[in-house]
Structure 1
Amino acid sequence: MLRSPGYLKLLLLAALIGVPVSLVAFGFLSLEHELQHWVWESLPDRLGFARAPWWWPLPTLALAGVLVAPVLRWMTGHGGHLPVKGLGGPPQPPKALPSVVLAALIALPLGTSLGPEVPLMAIGSGLALMAAARAQREDRPKAAAIVGTAGSTAAIATVFGNPVVGCVMVLEAAGLGGPQLLLLVLPCLVASGVGALVFTGFGHWTGLGIGALALPSLPPSGTPDAGEFLWAVPIAALIAAVVVGAQSLGWSTAAFTRQYTPSRTVVCAVLVGVCTAAYALFTGRSPEEAALSGQVMLGQLAADPHAWGVGALALLVLCKGLALGVSLGSLRGGPIFPVVLIGAAVGIACSGLPGLGTAAGLSIGLAASGAAITGLPVTATLLAVLLVGDNAPNAAPLMIVSTAVSFLVATLLKRRAPAL
């Protein structure tokens, strides 16, 4: 199969697909990033506020609900994949892409507690399926599915900042082995690698920001000791319980919005705004910290973890968790980024425990949260290791233990997903 002309053409198509997918993904992320900056920083400044006031999420999220409700109800594709159902789902057909893009560009900049990863995957797979239209007409759905997966991988690799993470995530989620895995892995690697090359060069050329998941500064890390390994077990279990609780709230919200979708979507968006505003009101901090995907906040938390007291971190986890749960079942976006922020906040809040340092708590939180929300332990470990950068050699063993514990606890706690 690998030597056949058809498969070689498929690899070439995957490489070619990586170029337009990465450019479209770059444009989407840049626009979303600029809109977010305008809503949460430029507009409050023009209105005379030093920063967004505590009540700012109330009108922004209400506006998000009003604008996104018609998209979810009447546009083809209904805004794409419901995030509480996870990262999977069938590839979005090209005709659904306008609703996916529009729903994401409305909800994400206005403060929805979701990330851009699921819309990115839908954009990548939809564009790839457009390129694979000939394969579909020739009744080769397997080839079209491979190309669609490659496009999805190329898109998601952009926001993770590394093409390997997206590739491993898609392959682990596919659950394939043997020759089938090899047939899928090469197109995904080629598409994501070419896409990352184009994406990186285009980013340097334009100077535009996309808010990719990254930790520019980290607390120093030493070799983990026995105490840190012991603390990793209950902390990872706690993070898994928090994430499963948010998912359960998401399923209840999805059932609530199944009927009377437009009006109930507005209600849910307002509830997200209330949760976000409550954090700012009770802590005296910016509501932006509890809003949005959490990409920026994660970097700030890692760079200066002692700027937040334990009480503020606990309120962040509570308010962000409630906002995430409501968003998962009613709005559109991805679940990974906000969950990683919640996990990091739990880990840093627990870092004052005897025998547990700040760097160890952060490492536990990053790894455990990724495993709990994705159900993909290998992907979660790889993402966490890449995030901590130079700390990886010391942090990796602790992260592996945290990932395993969180994955097992989350699997045991998850209730059967209702049919929606």
Structure 2
Amino acid sequence: MTAASGEPARTAGASAGAAGADSAPGADSAPAVRQQLMLAIPAVVVGVVSALVLFALDEVAELLEGVIWHQLPAATGLDPSNGFFIFTVLTLTGVAVGLVVWLLPGHGGRDSATTELIAPPLPLKSLPTLALVAVLALAGGVSLGPENPIIAINAGLLAAVIGRLFKRVPTQLTVMMAAAGTVGALFGTPVAAALVLTGIVAAFPRGGALWDRLFLPLASAGAGSVTMALLAHPTFELPLPAYDTVAPIDLLSGAVIASAGAVFGVLCVALFRVLHRFYHGFGNPLLYIGLGGVTLGLLGALGGEITLFKGLAQMGELITNAGSYSGWQLLSIFGIKLLALAVAGASGFRGGHIFPAVFLGVAFGMYANVLVPSVPLTLAVGAGVLGLVLAISRDGWIALFVATLVTGSVVVLPLLCLAILPAWLIVSRAPEMVVAVVPDRARPSWPWRRPPA
């Protein structure tokens, strides 16, 4: 997934995970069966709680979204698709998030632009405001997903609780289990969590076989997935045409679309890094997040409701109404959403990049299908998702998994495994969608005063 704030943060995240593995009983060799079974109890608890917290945060965000985008317009006679209404809501969302980050205790936790998906736990005092700014962004239509904030919330909360109830469980291991449980709940399957963590735990020189090290995170991911399935039915699969037969030309088509998507993803990352320096140059959160809200409002007014929010429901809307979009409309939706993702991530909003990257991939794949109708829509969408998610997340496993999940086709998977090879060559030496952590500075007394250099 998205890396941390440059190499130092990546190292911190990896060392945190490594410490978790090495601190667990039996780190130098395969852990005993009894140890695994005993630790499976807190692992399942972590998974269940992670899913419950995710469900609660989603429900609150959807409730607030309904008030802002449905009840308020119905009561006032306003049109929620009107450009001025969209601009106003996103601007006010930026102001609200900026005030929380500037003034309230905890200051909204870490800036998601500088944080690994799996990072050291936040102190408990940071979690309420992190949850608040995440809900405001999700409900207000900001083009970010919930993955970074909710993993940070679950990791911080469960590290504190498990640290008291199960003192033998290392904090780093709890963080990994919380991340696994949350990812399993987000994607509706523990496979996603296994892919996220495989690259981390495989780098550990000790700790037994790979599956010994994945045992507890997978227990947590499985519990999180089942819990979320009982509460809701999360799905990324789109109603795409069946893809049953592979044509030789599809090998080339998939590789070209995935590579082109990766190029646009790299451009998004480069723009994100430039914009981060620009927005944060204003110094005060109220200024740079508020300005980010204004920019998102202008983009939203230009692109319409389809370009707002994390993109999960919107990509379903795109596919359902595929025949009603021209190539230029799809290209404009793609371009505006790409800009919105770069702005939202750079201007201090808390949120993840994976969900909007999937939307971008769907829109790009649909455009490729309109441009060359002989390319099967399912293959085009899968390859588009593969390239965009790969470039933005820098994680090949997740890119392959999400692309296959979106298409719902196992037949397309071998083609994607080949298409990812040239796409990876494009992104492997490109900049990552992360920035270096800005050192703490004196917090200014007034929003127009910049902190000292």
TM-score range, shorter chain: 0.7 to 0.9
Deviations 1:330-387 (A, max 9, x none): 2111100111111111111011316412122111112222222221112221222223
**Structure 2 vs 1, CA of residues 412 and 354 (structure 1 numbering), >3 Å: closer, same or farther?**
farther
Instruction: Please give the alpha-carbon distance, in whole angstroms, between the structure 2 residues aligned to 1:125 and 1:328.
Output: 21
TM-score, normalised to structure 1, is 0.87
In structure 2, what is the equivalent of residue 12 of structure 1? 41
SS of equivalent to 2:350 = coil
In structure 2, what is the equivalent of residue 338 of structure 1? 356
Superposed displacement of residue 419, structure 1: 2.7
Superposed displacement of residue 147, structure 1: 1.3
Residue from 327, 330, 355 that aligns with 2:344: 327
Structure 1 gap ranges (5+): 204-208, 280-286
Residue from 159, 162, 187 that aligns with 1:129: 159
In the alignment, residue 293 of structure 1 is paired with which amino acid? K
TM-score, normalised to structure 2, is 0.81
In structure 1, what is the equivalent of residue 254 of structure 2? 232
Tell whether the 8 Å contact from 2:238 to 2:407 is kept in structure 1 after alignment.
Answer: no
In structure 2, what is the equivalent of residue 262 of structure 1? 286
Deviations 1:193-218 (A, max 9, x none): 12222222233xxxxx8xx4423511
Superposed displacement of residue 71, structure 1: 2.3
**Structure 1 or 2: more helix by fraction:** 1
Instruction: Please give the alpha-carbon distance, in whole angstroms, between the structure 2 residues aligned to 1:268 and 1:246.
Output: 16
Q: Superposed, which structure 2 residues align to 1:144-159 within 5 Å?
A: 144-159=171-186
Instruction: Please give the alpha-carbon distance, in whole angstroms, between the structure 1 residues aligned to 2:107 and 2:406.
Output: 33
Superposed displacement of residue 151, structure 1: 1.1
Superposed displacement of residue 14, structure 1: 1.0
Q: Superposed, which structure 2 residues align to 1:138-177 within 5 Å?
A: 143-173=170-200, 176-177=203-204
Residue from 380, 391, 395 that aligns with 1:376: 395
Superposed displacement of residue 77, structure 1: 4.3
Deviations 1:309-336 (A, max 9, x none): 1111111111111111011112111100
Instruction: Please give the alpha-carbon distance, in whole angstroms, between the structure 2 residues aligned to 1:291 and 1:354.
Output: 27
Deviations 1:32-65 (A, max 9, x none): 1232233233333333356521222211111111
SS of equivalent to 1:132 = helix
**Structure 2 vs 1, CA of residues 184 and 46 (structure 1 numbering), >3 Å: closer, same or farther?**
farther
Tell whether the 8 Å contact from 2:113 to 2:434 is kept in structure 1 after alignment.
Answer: no
Deviations 1:182-235 (A, max 9, x none): 4541111111212222222233xxxxx8xx442351123232322222122332
> Does 2:421 match 1:401?
no
Q: Superposed, which structure 2 residues align to 1:3-82 within 5 Å?
A: 3=32, 7-49=36-78, 51-82=80-111
Residue from 112, 123, 146 that aligns with 1:116: 146
Superposed displacement of residue 159, structure 1: 2.0
Instruction: Please give the alpha-carbon distance, in whole angstroms, between the structure 2 residues aligned to 1:173 and 1:339.
Output: 22
Instruction: Please give the alpha-carbon distance, in whole angstroms, between the structure 1 residues aligned to 2:203 and 2:275.
Output: 32
Tell whether the 8 Å contact from 1:147 to 1:187 is kept in structure 2 after alignment.
Answer: no
Deviates further, 35-44 or 223-232 = 35-44
**Structure 2 vs 1, CA of residues 175 and 61 (structure 1 numbering), >3 Å: closer, same or farther?**
farther
SS of equivalent to 1:227 = helix
In structure 2, what is the equivalent of residue 195 of structure 1? 224
Instruction: Please give the alpha-carbon distance, in whole angstroms, between the structure 2 residues aligned to 1:224 and 1:80.
Output: 47
Superposed displacement of residue 4, structure 1: 6.9
Instruction: Please give the alpha-carbon distance, in whole angstroms, between the structure 2 residues aligned to 1:296 and 1:269.
Output: 21
Tell whether the 8 Å contact from 2:259 to 2:426 is kept in structure 1 after alignment.
Answer: yes
Instruction: Please give the alpha-carbon distance, in whole angstroms, between the structure 2 residues aligned to 1:102 and 1:344.
Output: 30
Superposed displacement of residue 115, structure 1: 0.7
Instruction: Please give the alpha-carbon distance, in whole angstroms, between the structure 2 residues aligned to 1:149 and 1:128.
Output: 11
Instruction: Please give the alpha-carbon distance, in whole angstroms, between the structure 2 residues aligned to 1:63 and 1:223.
Output: 50
**Structure 2 vs 1, CA of residues 255 and 191 (structure 1 numbering), >3 Å: closer, same or farther?**
same
Deviations 1:262-309 (A, max 9, x none): 212101111011111112xxxxxxx22001101111112233322211
Residue from 300, 308, 312 that aligns with 2:329: 312
Q: Superposed, which structure 2 residues align to 1:358-377 within 5 Å?
A: 358-377=377-396
Give aligned pairs, total.
401
Q: Superposed, which structure 2 residues align to 1:272-291 within 5 Å?
A: 272-279=296-303, 287-291=304-308
SS of equivalent to 1:17 = helix
State the identity as a percent. 25
Structure 2 gap ranges (5+): 1-25, 438-453
Tell whether the 8 Å contact from 1:133 to 1:144 is kept in structure 2 after alignment.
Answer: yes
In structure 1, what is the equivalent of residue 376 of structure 2? 357
